[in-house]
Structure 1
């Protein structure tokens, strides 16, 4: 069994390359058969809103909506509770399959045996 990869993305469209790296690593890990949990915090939470990933563009990068679809299909996508509240977002505003959770859930994931955490 492979380790669970827990990725926290703290950047949004303002940091396009960092954003793309987090989604690319998540999708690549899923393709390799690893369990993946991607956490969106700060401005990254907007990518959990329908239509937002489609507006992201980075030359020579895989379309963000395709990477996001891979995570939604085979991984876990979580939006930070406080970050969602600061942006007046609720579960009804987010893509199907996205959960909202806070620091206790994140801490539980990263402290689990055989977990690997990465922050972008």
Structure 2
């Protein structure tokens, strides 16, 4: 099975696309795939404790549950520049989320057997 790299660039500003990214990542974790979810742009806010719990989309699995599933079985990374633009640091984000930049994303995306999706 290939690894899945999901980059989500939107948040509450585009709730359906945002929720789809988290749903795909969580479904891939449930299927046994190696998953890496990158929080960029407005999705960076979901690295902050409580923010995923505030997100709501009718008839969708709660974003907090999807994020929890990915954290439990995969990796979640917050974009360095996106964090800095929002005043976020390692001390203010959820446990289990790391901060890394474009070089790390590029390395992951170019790995053997990796399927990258951007939402």
**What is the alpha-carbon distance in structure 2 between the residues aligned to residue 46 and residue 92 of structure 1?**
14
Structure-2 residue corresponding to 1:64:
63
Alignment: residue pair count: 119
CA-to-aligned-CA distance 1:61-112 (integer Å, 9 cap, x gap): 0011100000110100000000000011000110000000000000000000
Which secondary structure state, in structure 2, belongs to the residue aligned with residue 13 of structure 1? Answer: coil
Cross-structure match for 2:43: 44
Question: Where does the alignment leave 5 or more consecutive residues of structure 1 unmatched?
Answer: none
The residue that corresponds to 2:113 in the other structure is 114
| 2:32 aligned residue | 33
1:3 is the counterpart of 2:2:
yes
Partner of 1:86: 85
Unpaired runs of 5+ residues, structure 2, are: none
TM-score (norm 1): 0.98
